[in-house]
Amino acid sequence: MNTLEIILEFYRLGTRLYDIFMDHAEAVTARALSVAERRPHLSPDLEFIEQAAMLHDIGIVFTRAKGLGCRGDAPYVRHGVLGRKLLEDRGYHRHGLVCERHVGVGISKADIQHQKLPLPLRDMCPVSIEEQIICYADKFFSKNGNNRPKSIQAILNTLSSYGPDKDKIFLAWVERFEPSLYFPPLPKINASG
């Protein structure tokens, strides 16, 4: 799979949208790979993570998000399902699932009903370890041109507005993937003193 070739079908080199998309995709990919490489016991597929992380937001081009330079017709919340369709049409089913399942910490069927979201009525939550790692890494980076990672607290503040279970899902990922970020290690005790 040539991810750049797919990206260039929809994003024009040198445009603001291309730059925003690539900066975000590269930051998420780097973090996802870093997390995956430090968790070999989970047997993550590193090649897949690299490809899928680069493409996880491919669908934003079809949305109305003028602040990002997106001039499509769809509401932004649909970028995941639109990305899934785009990649599935090219034979990349597994990659398409990452697109659909990375939004927030996943969107449940109950979320769609309760919030009356313009989405197909199905669960869109990360299932595989690769989906979870990419979704987790994505939460650290905005598409605002600033590639500094957000703090855990900033992420939790954002997620809490979508329901108490959302921050719990994210904290479980922190504990699983990068426990030292939120759960500092205990100080080492000097046995001789």
CATH classification of the domain holding 70: 1.10.3210
Q: Please, is 47 exposed, middle or buried when counting C-beta atoms within 10 Å of its C-beta (0-12, 13-18, 19+)?
A: exposed
Checking if the pLDDT of 48 tops 90, the result is: yes
Distance CA 106, CA 66 (A): 24
Q: Is residue 78 part of a domain?
A: yes
Q: Is residue 186 part of a domain?
A: no
Q: Is residue 124 part of a domain?
A: yes
Question: What does residue 65 show for φ and ψ, rounded to 5 degrees?
Answer: -145, 75
Checking if the pLDDT of 193 tops 50, the result is: no
Query: The domain containing residue 156 runs over which residues?
Result: 3-180
Query: Residue 51 contacts by C-beta under 8 Å, 6 or more apart in sequence?
Result: 1, 3, 95
Q: What pLDDT is attached to residue 144?
A: 80
Tell which wins on pLDDT, 27 or 182.
Answer: 27
Q: Is residue 163 part of a domain?
A: yes
**Mean pLDDT throughout 112-119?**
95
Please report, as a single letter, which amino acid is at residue 147: N
Query: Residue 102 contacts by C-beta under 8 Å, 6 or more apart in sequence?
Result: 56, 57, 80, 126, 131, 134, 135, 138
Q: Is residue 31 part of a domain?
A: yes
Q: Is residue 71 part of a domain?
A: yes
**Mean pLDDT throughout 122-142?**
97
Q: Is residue 105 part of a domain?
A: yes
**Structural domain count of the chain:** 1
Q: What pLDDT is attached to residue 141?
A: 96
Q: Which residue has the tokens 């070739």?
A: 5
Pull the structure tokens for residue 117.
Answer: 């979201």
